[in-house]
Structure 1
């Protein structure tokens, strides 16, 4: 455990976790605090950021980060459709620029960070509808499915996986892979780690997960497979690469998806990292663990979009890092 990760965990335990222990979720406060604290990195040299936030930009409402020398409509390299985290009710592409920029530059991939509609103003399936519509627009614009990876973190990781399931169910051509950082895949909050890691997780209290889910679900059952993809049949999905921390209350949301994917014949690499906060890649470049995680994630993006053979690890591999 690096001293940087220890410091981040100390800060989150004192500043963020107490917010998750309050009896009522204050959506406006969460959004305001996130906007106030957001740190936005510089656009990397040789890259350009295009912000698309007008009503006319739907379904590609959000931000493109792409090599400045490439055409704005078509690329030969990988493309990542990124779904930010934030419990489906706060955060934005702006809050996740550090992670997105780090992934893009390492993978030499154009990344579209989706500004999907947020709950409770827009409940399920609004976010899923936005993600599937954005993917279909990328295809309609001439980007080959096998050059696309759908990625996300936390709620966005669950959304990325749900998008893969929904696209398969609809008969759409599937992308090359799915990349999931600490995904929230069980909105019913039934994983053992909700209880066993309560108190160990520096960011969340276990009992906070269920109430947060209700903001997004409304009257939708928490076990709906397009809301909680841990309950979905995962057969036929492209390769998955997942990471989670060993102290996270959401650890079992990844562990069970990995088990289900393996049982369905899906190639799935799952890494459990020791003593890191929830979605630690977002703390790049400050955490060395974040930089290493993004290096490994970029290697996955390059591999699956190039058509290269799978890694030498078995599809059921779960490694401790």
Structure 2
């Protein structure tokens, strides 16, 4: 495993963390601008086309379509839950930042590796829209924080008796908004960006006065029984590491098919699990 901090993404994280530390009262617009540049260190994926989705309701939608998968019936919803959907996270950002632009290139690579179409959706952001606006956007079909939301949406769809997606994919999901797990503290020196104080500020913007114990907000409190297969991944140096591992263990105990990885190719998992239909 590479040492933390020796890659281009980590350097962007470190620069952003330094800017935030130097300006703890940074305006939301400035914070969003800082976190919008991740795509600059990601290459363009070849043989992938991009087009806006005009029928995404109040959300902005962007299709990433690999040429080889243009006729596929499977869709990765990067960030709704219908059949033939793999529900992924929306790039995190603590429910406060990030857009389809900041993760366009990465999602293009994911779509190509999975041999699926991908649809990136921008749900409403906090603090302008607080919990449960983000879940409402997704579960009503108006379409890291994203990993949390990808799971919360399926929990909400289960509650509503709606069809569930084929799978849930969560990259470094922020399942523990109460900070009860250990790596939020023990990995603070090796995580380039995500720190407890930062998350606490984002939690306030996201939840407002809402109870942080709500299982649709704090996913560790949710009952995972009946969820579709899950692919969960997080880095060994991340503060959110055991937020992910604890939920994976809880889901496995009730029979959910959970694949837990640190540095694996999720595209291979999608193809092996669901084929190329």
Aligned residue for 2:60? 61
Distance in 2 of aligned mates of 1:305 and 1:215: 37
Flag the 1:70–1:31 CA change in 2: closer, same or farther, 3 A. Answer: same
Q: 1:126 maps to what in 2?
A: 133
1:27 pairs with 2:3: no
Q: Matched residues in 2 for 1:70 and 1:164: separation?
A: 25
In the alignment, which of 93, 98, 101 is matched to residue 86 of structure 1?
A: 93
Verify the 8 A CA contact 1:160 1:178 in the aligned structure 2.
yes
1:113 aligned to 120, 123, 134, which one?
120
| Structure 2 Cα separation of the partners of residues 69 and 201 of structure 1 | 37
**Does structure 1 residue 200 correspond to structure 2 residue 190?**
yes
Change (3 A) 1:63 1:69: same
- Contact 1:123 / 1:216 at 8 angstroms: preserved in 2? yes
**1:64-122 per-position Cα deviation (integer Å, ceiling 9, x unaligned):** 11245877xxx444211111221111110110112201111111101000111111111
CA shift in 2, pair 1:118/1:13, >3 Å: closer
Q: Distance in 1 between matches of 2:10 and 2:37?
A: 20
CA distance in 1, matches of 2:123, 2:13: 28
User: Displacement of 1:124 after TM fit?
Assistant: 0.8
**Residue 78 of structure 1 contacts residue 302 of structure 1 at CA under 8 Å; is this kept in 2?**
no
| Deviation, structure 1 residue 158 | 0.8
Unaligned runs of 5+ in 2: 80-89
Q: Relative to 1, partners in 2 of residues 1:64 and 1:29: Cα closer, same or farther, differing over 3 Å?
A: same
Paired residues in the alignment total: 264
Instruction: Indicate the residue corresponding to 2:107 in structure 1.
Output: 100
**Structure 1 stretches of 5 or more lacking a match?**
138-153, 274-292, 309-321
Report if the CA contact (8 A) 1:197-1:206 is conserved: no
Task: Tell me the CA shift for residue 25 of structure 1.
Answer: 5.2
Number of the residue aligned with 1:231: 221
Matched with 1:300 is: 269
Residue pair 1:62, 1:93 contacting (<8 A) in 2 also: yes
Q: Deviations over 1:195-245 (max 9, x none)?
A: 111112122223322221111111211121111212100000011111111
For 1:114-163, what per-residue CA distance to the aligned partner results, in whole angstroms no more than 9, with x for missing partners?
1111111111111111122338x8xxxxxxxxxxxxxxxx1111110111
Deviates more, 1:77-86 or 1:36-45: 36-45
Q: CA separation of 1:207/1:5 partners in 2, compared to 1, >3 Å: closer, same or farther? A: closer
User: Secondary structure of 1:89's match?
Assistant: coil
Per-residue deviation, 1:12: 4.3
**Backbone CA RMSD of aligned residues:** 2.7
Q: Establish whether residue 270 from structure 1 lines up as the match of residue 260 from structure 2.
A: yes
Q: For 1:6 and 1:31, locate their aligned partners in 2 and report how far apart those are by CA, in whole Å.
A: 24
Q: 1:44 deviation in Å?
A: 3.1
Q: Judging changes above 3 Å, is the alpha-carbon distance between structure 1 residues 166 and 4 closer, same or farther for their aligned structure 2 residues?
A: same
1:182 aligns with 2:172: yes
User: Is the contact between residue 37 and residue 102 of structure 2 (CA under 8 Å) also seen in structure 1?
Assistant: no
* Distance in 1 between residues matched to 2:199 and 2:208, nearest whole Å: 15
